[in-house]
Structure 1
């Protein structure tokens, strides 16, 4: 199992499009005994929260966010935790909106030291 996410700050490696997280979004992760949560903001997202579980290298969580245009959105994500050769963490994500239509994949990585 890859190392704990506690205290890590991650960012998307690519923009996902208007109203979604992008390279300016920052995720501050926490982890304790199989539970994970994070606060995030930046780009089109004013404030977001995610909460879920970790089993091995698999995260399963729900997210909710408030966007700059005043709308909200929520969804579900399953991520695989990968440790990069330089020791940083990458999350390979498959997500789906629950508040509207749409699904996709994304990658977030721990910011360089």
Structure 2
């Protein structure tokens, strides 16, 4: 897949644990010359940022976020870029917190145009 993430809005397909990203969180992605970054917010996240790199269909990035309770957290994520059956971008993510205990997997997909 060579499709750029630049300008895409993605959302998780399922809620994570309370205080983390969930189905109401929206990620606004940007991509340029193998670099990726995104701003995100929604649900329990007031503001979040991620920065990293893309090599083919593999993303490697770090993220930091401010939650509604005033706490902050950060972590590392590796994602595989795939495509849904209807042609939208899907990221299969493997993540781990660096500021606290915990790790897991999640899926985010391009939000369909209204």
TM-score, normalised with respect to structure 2 = 0.97
State the Cα distance separating 1:83 from its structure 2 match: 1.5
Q: In the alignment, does 2:65 pair up with 1:100?
A: no
1:24-65 CA-partner distances (Å, limit 9, x unpaired): 000000000000000000000000000000000000000000
Question: Which residue is equivalent to 1:11?
Answer: 11
Alignment match, 2:84 = 84
The equivalent residue for 1:111 is 111
Q: Separation in 1 of the partners of 2:84 and 2:26?
A: 19
The correspondence of residues 18-57 of structure 1 with structure 2, limited to 5 A, is 18-57=18-57
Q: Which residue of 1 is the match for residue 64 of structure 2?
A: 64
Q: Return 5+ residue gaps in structure 1 as ranges.
A: none
- Runs in 1 of length 4+ with deviation above 2 angstroms? none
TM-score normalised by L of structure 1: 0.98
Pairwise CA distance, 1:2 = 3.4
Query: SS state of the match for residue 31, structure 2?
Result: strand
Question: Structure 1 CA distance, aligned partners of 2:25 and 2:2?
Answer: 23
Q: State the alpha-carbon separation in 2 of the partners of residues 85 and 71 from structure 1.
A: 38
Shift of residue 17 of structure 1? 1.3
Aligned residues, how many? 113
5+ residue gaps, structure 2, are none
Per the alignment, in what secondary structure is the counterpart of residue 21 of structure 1? coil
